[in-house]
Amino acid sequence: MSTGNFGAIASEVKPKSMIRAKQWSDDIENLYRFQTAGYRDEWEYRHVMQVEKADRWPETGFVKKLQRKDNTFYYFNRQRECEEKEVHKVKVYAY
């Protein structure tokens, strides 16, 4: 597949529903990191950037580094970054 096809595939797959996170968890932490970098979730990141998986911290499993669509990078700490006051802003998509 060409680069253009991956972008088309990612944009064609639309979530069926969306809810807001109510409490923090490891999954919510990772969604927060993907959404901070401009992606809905890991699925969209993998398809847009054409990678198998995102770089993760081995100790915690949290996302370590993400490349944005404009080719800049976000680097994240090993520990929690999504503060309690930010949890309700995280969107959880169902496909």
Listed by start position, the domains of the chain span 3-94
Distance of CA 80 to the CA centre of its chain: 15
Residues 23-64 have pLDDT tens digits of: 999 999 999 999 999 999 999 999 999 999 999 999 999 999
pLDDT at 9: 53
DSSP annotation of 90 reads -
Q: If you write DSSP's letter for every residue of 21-82 in order, what string do you get? A: --S--HHHHHHHHHHHTT-SSHHHHHHHHT-SS-EE-TTT--EEEEE-TTS-EEE--SS--S
